[in-house]
Structure 1
Amino acid sequence: MGKLFGLIGHPVGHSMSPFMHNDQFANLGIDGHYHAFDVHPKDLEAAIQGIRVLGISGFNITIPHKVNVIQYLDEVDEEAKQIGAVNTVVNKNGKLIGYNTDGKGFVVSLMQLAGDSVLHKKMLLVGAGGAARGIYITLARLGVQHIDIANRTVEKANELIASCSFPITSNALSIIEAEKNLFNYEIIINTTSVGMSPQTGMIPIDLKNMKAGTILSDIIYNPIETKWLKLGRSLGGVVQNGVGMFVGQGALAFELWTGQKPDFKGMEKIVRTQLGGN
């Protein structure tokens, strides 16, 4: 019997991860299988114990377990500690070690579009939740010099800024304040779920004051192009959906589990195919 890997979340029926990882196991000749497990929050501790007993080799953690799972692990990587959330776990000889590849996955995707120059661009992060935290901390750790955070609750944005131990200039803004000053930014990143299927008619922040050429990055990948990205494209923005981040975090997790680099383009292709995009 081959090695078993998986995803723990609630719900997980929509996940593209099994398609992506199982395709790579087959292409690389790895005797492994990836399965999505729907685990209710009240059953999380029992599920982690089950993983130990069954000897599952590695797994991803998704909403709503990324923070709560930490207490059941044996060890947590330093960057995941800083972020305060885990999305990847490696079973190393019975020891469960937690990592966070979300932020790095996003950065890999963003740098494919903008190159190393991202470190010197003024950015706006929309949202201050778990996804924003991973992206903000990772970008700050890499040396990005200026990231403002806009959130419906400004206090939450301030809390995220205060939690970062890396040197960076940041301001906490209301959505309205950020909209008025959107022309100041070269990269705008939506880290919220606003605009995600099935509520595709909403946008996280208005773009009327955006300058042409601004990079708009949305971590949502379903739909492939949100209403927000369509609006941004019509106003001269350079748009990027969440497929790259999703594939990036998955590729990094795959390498942690297997020690092998997967085919990034192949992973991206199968996700786009499953989503009906191109």
Structure 2
Amino acid sequence: MSNAANDARAPAGAWDAHADDYMRLFSPLTGHIARGMVALVQSRLPDAPCLLDIACGPGDLAVAAATLCAERDAGSVLATDISPRMVALTQRALQPIDADARAEVRDGQDLGLESASFDAALSCFGIFLFPDRVAGWRTAAETLRPGGLFATSVWRGPESNELAKAQMGPLMSALPARLTNPPPRASWADLMTAEGLVDEITRAAPLIDPEIHILDATLALPTPNAMWRGMVGNPITGALIAACTHEEREDVERAVLAAFENRSGGPDLPFLLNTSCHVLIARRA
């Protein structure tokens, strides 16, 4: 297999490997946000909505959307993700719901779906992580009928989001200087403000009348070590940790766990972090 092919498969493989941990550790948090996103748009949808979930992860938003369709006894849901494992988890979660809902492996940067075929496209903490976000925003908009709704969620910055500050602060302090000089900047840093999020999306895609909502929630993990395990497996933070040598990683783990345990009050106590995100809602021109 060529290097190019390996590179193309890497994002899917990384999220495949993280899928089960993500569902167990972080889905209770992100699922809360996903259900909030569906609640924010549901009164504006037609009676029998055709709904698209982009970067569905383990299926929380798709389940909320399918439940809405089941309550109305009308409508359909298509959930998509680049990760086959995430799609399998979503399909399993959708099975008990009496609705026209399915999950498929598709790349959100090029979905290959018919244009103007959905009433709403939603992405809960998905498109903002794409290697080509502009393609993601544009592709999402292209799937919408005129006037169709787009909604997406993005984490707020550390000044407003305890998760970003308390998770990344100890990691950045513990990493070797060769990995933090210059300090790494999140690829989505410009989207952490409402203004930045609106600006990028409305420039990238034919989406109008943007509005921003703030949704807060608490991440509750059983122990500080659960947070560390989740960071190691996450394709974003895990890439930084994987760049360490074996000895460096041991030092980083000790330092980060010490900071987390100090925050929680001990190694066997729950680890709680308040989180905050922006939800952008706009409509197709």
The TM tier, using the shorter chain, reads 0.3 to 0.5
Of structures 1 and 2, the one scoring higher in RCO (CA 8 A, sep 6+) is: 2
Q: Which has the higher helix share?
A: 2
Q: What is the TM-score with the length of structure 2 in the denominator? A: 0.42
Q: Which has the higher strand share?
A: 2
